[in-house]
């Protein structure tokens, strides 16, 4: 029983401020890299989805008209450029 407490005390290590700062920086970099990978994966998924949507339009005879219309609307929304609202710009002036 006494040996278990000794082992647990050895496993608990107190880090210095510099070590904690270094660990924090490493975790921050890792989070940033993971976020970049997520953004790249999302972009790749969007392009893949867009390709499938165009395939639906190419073969629209095989699908219901409502589904084809939904796919067409989704393509338009994906291809549209988001413009800033004029209302927000006027408020800042």
pLDDT digits over 39-92, tens only?
A: 999 999 999 999 999 999 999 999 999 999 999 999 999 888 877 666 555 555
Q: Which residues contact 44 (CB under 8 A, 6 or more apart)?
A: none
**Chain position carrying tokens 């700062």:** 21
Q: Is 3 part of a structural domain of the chain?
A: no
Q: Is 87 part of a structural domain of the chain?
A: no
| Residues 69, 71: Cα–Cα separation, whole Å | 5
Please tell me the predicted confidence (pLDDT) of residue 4. 65
Which comes out higher in pLDDT, residue 78 or 4? 78
Number of structural domains the chain divides into: 1
Using DSSP, state whether 42 is helix, strand or coil: helix
Range(s) of the domain holding residue 47: 16-80
Reduced DSSP (H G I as helix, E B as strand, rest coil) percent helix, strand, coil of the chain, to 5: 85, 0, 15
| Residues 65, 73: Cα–Cα separation, whole Å | 12
């Amino acid at each position: 029983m006494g040996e278990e407490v000794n082992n647990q005390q050895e496993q608990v290590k107190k880090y210095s401020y510099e070590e904690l700062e270094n660990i924090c920086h490493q975790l921050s970099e890792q989070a940033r890299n993971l976020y970049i990978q997520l953004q790249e994966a999302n972009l790749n998924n969007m392009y893949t989805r867009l390709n499938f949507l165009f395939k639906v339009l190419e073969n629209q005879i095989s699908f219901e008209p409502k589904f084809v219309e939904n796919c067409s609307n989704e393509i338009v929304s994906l291809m549209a450029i988001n413009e800033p609202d004029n209302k927000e710009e006027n408020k800042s002036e």
